[in-house]
Amino acid sequence: MKKTAFLYLAGCMIILAIFSACDKGSDVLKSDTDNNNDDTTNEVNRYSFKNTVKEAMAVNKDDHDKAKDYVWDSTTATQITFNGSTITSNGTGATVSGSTVTITTAGTYILSGALNDGQIIVNSVDEETVKLVLNGIDIYDPANAPLYVKNAKKTVIILADGSKNIIRDGSTYILEDPTVDEPNAAVYSKSDLSIYGNGSLTVYGNYNDGIASVDGIVIKSGNIIVRAQDDGIRGKDYLVIKDGILDVNAVGDGLKSDNADDTSRGYVLVENGTIAVIAGKDAITAQTDALIADGVITLTSGGGSSKTVSDDVSAKGIKAPVNSIIDNGAITFNCADDAIHSNGNLTINGGELVISTGDDAIHADSALTINNGDITAKKCYEGIESTYITVNGGNIRLTSSDDGVNAADGSGGGDPGGGMPGGGNTGGGGMPTTGNYYLYINGGYLAVNAAGDGFDINGTIVMTGGNVIVHGPTENMNGALDWDKGFKMTGGFLVAAGSAGMAQAPASTSTQYAILINMNKSLDGGTMFHIQAGDGSEILSFTPSKKYQSVAFSSDKLVNGGTYDVYYGGTCTGTAVDGLYSGGVYTAGTKLTSFTVSSMITKITVR
């Protein structure tokens, strides 16, 4: 039940292409030249990719946000009032023509009232900012963008305290130049755009996008609701959400930046806020970096995890070609496609992530690092997938219908919508593949419940610390642990139960003792597996959730020359977390076998 991997050579070429094309920096990856069967010497240097939001933003273009943007004086502002089909203005800087008002001068404009068939145009050559204070407007233009910033140094939309504002367009535009599809959003700006305030703004993009800028968008605050026939909120150079309440429902992408011409632009940054996105395609998508610093975020894409999208559709939760970084936040994913995806680097430094997805929970084509955070994948095809995976910390729980952790050619799960399946131990045509793919576990807590391989590492595992629990597969074609080139264990705790057909344990190059016990018959899920020392002290009490015939175990409690007894069944009064008991007293079931540790890996077959 493994995904089909690209040929190894093609995978290497893809990775090299990513490195050479990326201007965000690049460290050298040590090569594997000895090609032995237990290569644990090839440490992976850090990529040029960035590991925190701060690091990524250090090489990205600064946003246009300034404190003075949000200071305004009502006594000097021009008042513009909409009266159904007419407009009145009592100050300077604005010209009224029928049901269209054109603002030509920098300054502050207070807008109120309803306009049934009209437009606000900003067309200023001044070097100062145009500030539009929306104080209860309801504007509808059936044939064009109701709010169109044609030209301005910067435009700031200020939502007056307690005001409710609505902007709607029609489903068909009559454009000045039909060969150029602009404007193409209900709120459309050809310059930098900011939104701020304690009021609300509801935007209906019936033609295409809801809110769009060909430069950058900064959302400072406000209660913003967007309904769009294509993208919800799109800033070409960048989309920065500093705070506020956002409710976006889009047929296309939800939150988006798409500048493909400048590697310092094309990013999406969420600093804080309460954000809910429902998108037919990607919920958050960037051309370079997708960065989450904090916030309470709910992302639904492609109809949710129970839906299937075609190969030419991308319906991911968070997607970026260079860096996908999460520093903090409470994020809930319900995605048809990958929940978190990067074609380059993906780093999780913290936060609380709850994931349901029809494809991978966390996927990076190049390198994937988890430093901290509480991560629960309730439903996914594969849990964690990348070429190079490093777990330094965090509390991670994965429930997968295929592999729990897959180190392989990560490009198979790439843009747009998952594309050709990748990973697994077979390449095109079913030929076995193995390569320079790595899983490093240096700390943290990782509990895996996998229908496929618990760990499917088409290369090498190095474990120096942390706690790993694997409820592995019941079918013999998969294993709780599946590695190709080596598994060097120098520290930490590991227990992995599953089928016996492909069962593996850490390799003999390890410096911490391990055992692998294969039984002649399967035990039912819920049957306790217990190991105790010769003096009766507890070493392991573990209850696999599914039928199992093999158990691999490594802990610093195993010592050379030590004699141990193995039982199945019985009960324990301790506290169980993910099937692993701590404390309490074990009441013996049936004795299975005894063994003495005399080598780094002790393999036992119970007949």
Q: How far apart are CA 233 and CA 210, in angstroms?
A: 6
> Quick check: pTM over 0.75?
yes
Task: Give buried/exposed letters for 320-330 (b at 16+ CB in 10 A, else e).
Answer: bbbbbbbbbbe
Amino acid 434: pLDDT: 57
What is the predicted pLDDT for the residue at 49?
81
Q: What does the alpha-carbon distance between residue 531 and residue 580 come to, in Å, rounded to a whole number?
A: 12
Query: 424: Cβ–Cβ under 8 A, 6 or more apart, which residues?
Result: 2, 3, 4, 5, 403, 406, 408, 456, 458
CA 282-329-201 angle, 5° bins: 60
Secondary structure tally for the chain: helices H, strands E:
2, 57
pLDDT at position 436, please? 86
Task: Answer positive or negative: Cα dihedral of 536, 537, 540, 545.
Answer: positive
- Assess contact for 513 and 602: CB atoms under 8 A: yes
Q: How far apart are CA 369 and CA 414, in angstroms?
A: 18
Distances (CA, A) of 547 to 498, 523, 572, 605: 7, 6, 19, 17
- pLDDT value, residue 43: 36
Residues of the chain with pLDDT under 70: 1-48, 410-434
Q: Both tokens of residue 333?
A: 């994913």
Euclidean distance between CA atoms 429 and 422, whole angstroms: 13
Please give the pLDDT value at position 410: 60
Geometric angle at alpha carbon 235, from 188 and 160, rounded to 5°: 60
